[in-house]
């Protein structure tokens, strides 16, 4: 509680009790505005000194303020395990278990314990496999993210220590120097020629000079000098922590993959329910079955028709894919983002630090000279006028342009050096050339200042030419740095010179990364359009676009509010956003708006970035990608975190995600086909012959099938050359066609075996015409259904002939093993409890030959379906128009528990939308607070203004 006035100013002494003050009060600017308060008052307010806090005090403040990181949301492992059994598909199997143990009574028989135990074990096995895979993937991600944990130099107990930045609390004293990332919001209490790069906050390339008493922000980088500061904000109470709150999602959104899973699940459940209702009516009303016999047939449809392993198979596929992407230095923090990355059609990329190096460089090819001094010597002279220690960004750029940095002082003796200051806006060095012992002076700085400084050889033509060159650089987004030299005949550092001569104009820019152009070309070859979205100036954005062959059809962000300019061909803002190559001068709400508009137009959008200003758009995008060295806010908002510089890893991620998508699509087509095959086949056999297939054998079939199909997560597939999308109409139609064909194979086989002497003429057993449920027939039909059904996976996984496209070794081995087991069961098993009897090797051979004959036409059926659903004239653009399954919102997702909720990186942006605003649990719309967004933008605008002012007055 304050004992003096709470409304503070620079002249008011503050007396508070840090043990009792509320965190909300401390960060209420109406009470304590620590961004403007005198530093002495801050030290008094936070009960600290220049010697720092004690360890005990720091620990007590951690308990009060929390760790210096964004909130972590941990998933209870037990609930994560149970989530694999909490979805509509599992509910059907759980209902089957209840039927087996509760309703399967009567007829003098005990409850169906074998089926009950088998169903429960199958549920537990699927849940266990899925949980283990996700848990292992989660541990891998946690280990990688832990390796990225930042360190900070903190003064504790009066001594400097290097500790994890997460341990920082308000009142800590920290030290920062060249190259350090500022670990928390702080006020400088000591500053030595310090310059801070706030590109992660504002998107502007040039650093900002800071002085004692100035505020420095978490996530910014020290580019020059060193200093000490008192921490005033940590975690969510920092500048980018507040940015995180702008887009914190509190709904329970359904991701794209969850929508697909839901529709596939409904297709299977509706198919089962349809045939189940008909079968119950036929059995009890038509055939007058006794109660227990009918219940057994109900169990056959419930157990055999439901793709119980689907959530597990897809979860395992994604988890294995996440580990594979991690090997390519891409950490996946939201599993279902892998599937959405496969469908991305537009990649929105930040410029500074993402497309570019965020390092200023001289464009030697465009360097201008105004005397007989060569371009190489112009750079050398400018290096003389640069610091070689405690360099700012310009000095680093100039000296770095030399073949060898030692040349900046080689062969000369420094007599005097005048560093850059905001008044003179230039640097100057007086030096002695050791080769002839003569003294010279060189100056570099703002073009107009240097031109005014020159008195020798200056003509109207030279002045006009320099102004024209400066204007040309400005149009192209290049910054101009002029260089002039003079001789000092007196030979002393303060001696009068002969007059400065203008010798050159250096074009300075932030160059693209070495692999960016190739990455963009590869992305476009894969059908992904790349757009630049940057907070930098339009001219700079256009020049970068030209260098990267991205195009320069770019606009200022103001067009999003004012509408398309007259020279634009677009009629609406949406058309402009879609057609533009990029936007410049954007703030968080602009990036967010651009991504939202693209999603509303039906495009899956990925956003790359590294700074706080990218976080809202990263969270909004279908796939947010934080590049290497990104801020904590960007990592928390992103779905994928890159651990290597550049964008080339994204191409590996796109190709990897498309492979993963192909595996999931192949499995989905297969599992839907098997559902139709089982429910249609055994329903028709019941109607036609009163055939009662044993429910336990359907369970065995499901177990072997699930064990085999899990290996599809490592299958060999070829990624597509265009963005993928779920064509559920094709999948469901193919499932019906395949299901009918496989059913026909079983019905034909049963009819031939039961009603004709075709097989008996070959020496095989004949069956009495009045015994359609002969136990050997049960074994034979089991083998026929098992082998041909599982073989269908080789058809759905291939685009050409299935016996030509080689599967992975593990999938082939699993299939062979499962069919050996199925064959041995059919040949030898005499299980009275489930009404089967070994059929012998003769009948097993007949089944295999029959199935081989029926297998080969499946490829031609596939080709016919491809012709119907994928005409050769279809273009990539037409495929993109089929992206109807945009991300939507719902009150609850039954699948998100182990796809979307699987999050190992701390995220304040856990829920993501494609279009519109999220919904809270009670159905209310939750949008970003306009007031908060305006306040955040105002702070950013102030920082950008300061940076731009520094840029315009740079050397």
pTM greater than 0.75: no
SS (H, E, C) 496-538: CCCCEEEEEEEEEECCECCCHHHHHHHHHHCCCEEEEECCCCH
Higher pLDDT, 113 or 57: 57
Report the alpha-carbon distance of residue 4 to residue 13 in Å, rounded.
7
Position 468 scores a pLDDT of 93
Position 402 scores a pLDDT of 92
Least confident of 180-184, 194-198, 918-922: 918-922
Position 85 scores a pLDDT of 76
Q: Please give the structure tokens belonging to residue 853.
A: 């004959």
Q: What is the mean pLDDT of residues 261-268?
A: 85
What's the chain's Rg over C-alpha atoms? 35
- Report the share of the chain in percent with pLDDT over 90: 32
Is residue 836 scored above 70 in pLDDT?
Answer: yes
Report the alpha-carbon distance of residue 215 to residue 951 in Å, rounded.
19
For residue 127, the SS3 value is helix
Is residue 807 scored above 80 in pLDDT?
Answer: yes
Q: What is the mean pLDDT of residues 871-891?
A: 39
Going from the C-alpha of 505 to that of each of 362, 366, 444, 447, the distances in angstroms are 10, 9, 9, 8
Position 690 scores a pLDDT of 92
Is residue 150 scored above 90 in pLDDT?
Answer: no
Q: What is the mean pLDDT of residues 564-582?
A: 87
Q: What is the mean pLDDT of residues 409-414?
A: 91
Position 164 scores a pLDDT of 86
Q: Tell me which residue has tokens 């995180």.
A: 244
| 316-361 per-position pLDDT tens digit | 788 788 888 888 778 887 777 888 899 999 999 888 777 888 788 8
Scored b (16 or more CB within 10 A) or e, 637-652 reads bbbbbbbebbbbbbbb
Residue 274: φ, ψ to 5°? -60, -50
| 102-119 per-position pLDDT tens digit | 776 666 676 777 778 877
Position 111 scores a pLDDT of 75
| Strand-pair category, 582-584 with 529-533 | parallel
Least confident of 14-28, 471-485, 735-749: 14-28
Catalytic residues: 350
Mean pLDDT of the chain: 80
Higher pLDDT, 953 or 708: 708
Higher pLDDT, 223 or 887: 223
């Amino acid at each position: 509680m304050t004992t003096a006035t709470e409304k503070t100013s620079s002249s008011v002494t503050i007396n508070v009790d840090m043990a009792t003050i509320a965190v909300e009060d401390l960060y209420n600017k109406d009470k304590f505005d620590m961004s403007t308060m005198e530093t002495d008052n801050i030290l008094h307010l936070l009960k600290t000194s220049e010697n720092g806090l004690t360890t005990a005090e720091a620990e007590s403040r951690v308990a009060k303020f929390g760790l210096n990181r964004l909130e972590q949301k941990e998933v209870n492992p037990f609930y994560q395990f149970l989530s694999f059994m909490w979805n509509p598909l599992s509910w059907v199997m759980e209902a089957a278990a209840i039927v087996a143990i509760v309703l399967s009574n009567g007829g003098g028989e005990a409850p169906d314990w074998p089926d009950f135990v088998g169903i429960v074990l199958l549920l537990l096995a699927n849940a266990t496999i899925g949980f283990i895979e996700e848990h292992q993937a989660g541990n891998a991600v946690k280990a990688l993210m832990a390796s990225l944990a930042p360190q900070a130099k903190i003064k504790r107990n009066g001594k400097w220590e290097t500790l994890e930045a997460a341990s920082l609390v308000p009142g800590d004293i920290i030290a920062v120097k060249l190259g350090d990332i500022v670990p928390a919001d702080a006020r400088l209490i000591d500053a030595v020629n310090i310059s801070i790069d706030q590109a992660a906050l504002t998107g502007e390339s040039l650093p900002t000079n800071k002085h004692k008493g100035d505020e420095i922000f978490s996530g910014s980088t020290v580019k020059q000098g060193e200093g000490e500061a008192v921490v005033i904000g940590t975690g969510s109470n920092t500048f980018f922590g507040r940015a995180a709150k702008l887009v914190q999602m509190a709904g329970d959104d359904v991701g794209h993959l969850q929508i697909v899973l839901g529709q596939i699940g409904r297709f299977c459940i509706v198919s089962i329910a349809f045939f189940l209702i008909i079968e119950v009516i036929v059995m009890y009303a038509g055939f007058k079955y006794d109660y227990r016999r009918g219940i057994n047939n109900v169990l056959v449809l419930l157990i055999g028709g439901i793709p119980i392993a689907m959530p597990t198979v897809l979860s395992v596929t994604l988890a294995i894919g996440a580990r594979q992407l991690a090997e390519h230095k891409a950490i996946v923090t939201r599993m279902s983002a892998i599937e959405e990355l496969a469908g991305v059609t537009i990649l929105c990329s930040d410029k500074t630090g993402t497309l570019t190096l965020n390092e200023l460089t001289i464009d030697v090819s465009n360097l201008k000279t105004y005397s007989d001094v060569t371009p190489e010597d112009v750079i050398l002279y400018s290096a003389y006028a640069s610091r070689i220690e405690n360099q700012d960004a310009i000095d680093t750029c100039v000296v770095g342009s030399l073949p060898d940095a030692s040349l900046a002082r080689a062969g000369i003796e420094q007599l005097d050096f005048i560093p850059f200051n905001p008044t003179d806006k230039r640097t100057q060095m007086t030096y002695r050339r050791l080769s002839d012992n003569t003294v010279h002076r060189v100056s570099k700085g703002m073009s107009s200042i240097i031109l005014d400084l020159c008195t020798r050889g200056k003509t109207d033509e030279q002045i006009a030419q320099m102004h024209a060159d400066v204007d040309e650089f400005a149009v192209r987004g290049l910054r101009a740095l002029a260089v002039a030299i003079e001789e000092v005949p007196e030979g002393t550092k303060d001696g009068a010179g002969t007059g400065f001569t203008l010798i050159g104009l250096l074009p300075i820019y932030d160059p693209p990364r070495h692999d960016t152009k190739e990455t963009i070309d590869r992305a476009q070859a894969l059908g992904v359009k790349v757009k630049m979205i940057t907070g930098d100036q339009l001219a700079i954005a256009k020049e970068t676009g030209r260098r990267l062959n991205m195009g320069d059809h770019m606009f200022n962000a103001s067009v999003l509010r004012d509408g398309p300019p007259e020279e634009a061909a677009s009629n609406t803002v949406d058309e402009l956003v879609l057609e533009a190559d990029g936007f410049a001068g954007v703030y968080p709400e602009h990036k967010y708006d651009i991504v939202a508009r693209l999603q509303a137009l039906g495009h899956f959008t990925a956003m790359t970035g590294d700074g706080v200003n990218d976080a809202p758009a990263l969270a909004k995008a279908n796939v947010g990608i934080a590049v290497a060295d990104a801020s904590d806010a960007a990592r928390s908002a992103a779905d994928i975190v890159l651990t290597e510089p550049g964008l080339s890893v994204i191409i590996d991620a796109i190709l990897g995600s498309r492979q993963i998508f192909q595996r999931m699509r192949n499995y989905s087509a297969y599992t839907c086909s098997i559902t139709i095959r089982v429910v249609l086949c055994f329903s028709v056999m019941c109607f036609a012959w009163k055939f009662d297939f044993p429910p336990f054998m359907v369970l065995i079939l499901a177990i072997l099938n699930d064990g085999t199909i899990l290996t599809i997560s490592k299958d060999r597939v070829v990624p597509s050359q265009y963005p993928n999308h779920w064509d559920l109409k094709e999948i469901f139609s193919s499932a019906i066609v395949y299901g009918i064909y496989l059913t026909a194979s079983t019905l034909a086989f049963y009819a031939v075996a039961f009603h004709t002497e075709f097989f008996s003429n070959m020496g095989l057993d004949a069956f009495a015409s009045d015994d359609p449920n002969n136990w050997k027939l049960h074994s034979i039909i089991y083998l026929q259904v098992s082998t041909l059904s599982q073989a269908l996976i080789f058809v759905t996984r291939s685009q050409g002939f299935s016996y030509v496209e080689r599967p992975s070794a593990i999938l082939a081995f699993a299939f062979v093993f499962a069919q050996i087991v199925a064959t041995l069961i059919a040949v030898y098993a005499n299980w009275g409890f489930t009404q089967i009897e070994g059929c012998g090797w003769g009948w097993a051979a007949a089944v295999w030959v029959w199935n081989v004959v029926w297998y080969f036409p499946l490829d031609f059926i596939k080709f016919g379906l491809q012709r119907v659903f994928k005409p050769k004239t279809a273009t990539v653009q037409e495929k993109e128009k089929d992206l109807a399954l945009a991300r939507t919102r719902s009150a609850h997702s039954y699948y998100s528990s182990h796809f979307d909720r699987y999050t190992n990186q701390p995220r304040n942006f856990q829920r993501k939308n494609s279009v519109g605003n999220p919904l809270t649990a009670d159905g209310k719309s939750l949008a970003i607070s306009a007031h908060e967004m305006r306040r955040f933008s105002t702070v950013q605008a102030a920082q950008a203004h300061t940076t731009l002012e520094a840029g315009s007055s740079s050397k």
